Amino acid sequence: MKDQLVVYGNKLLKNLDRVAVVVFVLLVLWTGLLYMSENNYQIPEAETPAAQPFEVRIPDEEGNYARLERNFFETQPEIGKDPRMRRLVSINMFDAQSVKGQAELAREIENDFRKAEEAFGQQNYDSALSLIDSILRRNPAHRRTLELKDQIIAATTGEVGS
């Protein structure tokens, strides 16, 4: 058995150029077949579904999804008028000065947020709210600041805020 394998192996090596040409031709034929089958493929005709009415779901009595609903209803149709998007559009990521300015702004906001958290921890709600308003003027979509504002409003009024 081993002798026959050695004989076949030697014959293949002697005719390696012919074997390579045959394999190449088979691959080219297979590629052509795939190309032609893709070009001849037709998407089956299907009936277009009828338009369904868009339904807005209001949050339940506990106020779940309030922020999601607020964001949905406050979205501006024009990107330049939406303060959250305007911030993104105004950043030029290819300008080093713009990127450094944004990094500096982020550090300032983080420092002010820490001060607001400390003021909240000391129950100095007026100082915390003024810091929060300052942060939200610079970044209206700062999530942690919005959450802290909700906590302060809940602590002062006993209700869940915006």
Q: Concatenated DSSP letters for 36-86?
A: HHHHH--PPP-PPPPPPPP-PPPP-TT-TTHHHHHHHHH--SSGGG-HHHH
| Same domain as 83, residue 33 | no
* Inside any domain, residue 148: yes
- Same domain assignment for residues 97 and 149: yes
Indicate whether 143 belongs to any domain.
yes
Query: Same domain, yes or no, for 23 and 84?
Result: no
128 membership: H or E segment, kind and range: helix 125-138
Residues 92-144: tens digit of each pLDDT:
778 888 888 888 989 999 999 999 999 999 989 999 999 999 999 888 888 89
Residue showing tokens 């030697």:
10
Residue 145 CA to chain centroid, in angstroms?
Answer: 21
Residue type, 77: P
Q: Band of the pLDDT at 161, cuts 50, 70, 90?
A: very low
Domain enclosing residue 92, as ranges: 79-157
> For residues 129 and 145, what is the distance between their CA atoms, to the nearest angstrom?
10
In the chain, the percentage of residues whose pLDDT exceeds 90 is 28
DSSP per residue over 113-127, as a string? HHHHHHHHHTT-HHH
In a domain, 46, yes or no: no
Confidence of residue 39 (pLDDT cuts 50, 70, 90): confident
Is 53 a domain residue? Answer: no
What integer best gives the mean pLDDT of the chain? 80
Q: CA 76 to CA 83: how far, in whole Å? A: 9
Residue 108 within a domain: yes
Round to the nearest angstrom and report the end-to-end CA distance of the chain: 84
65, part of any domain: no
What is the identity of the amino acid at 160? Answer: V
Cβ-contact 134, 104 below 8 angstroms: no
Number of domains within the chain? 2
85 plus 24 within the same structural domain: no
152 found inside a domain:
yes
141 touches 84 (CB < 8 A): yes
CA dihedral 115, 143, 92, 104 (to 10 degrees): 10
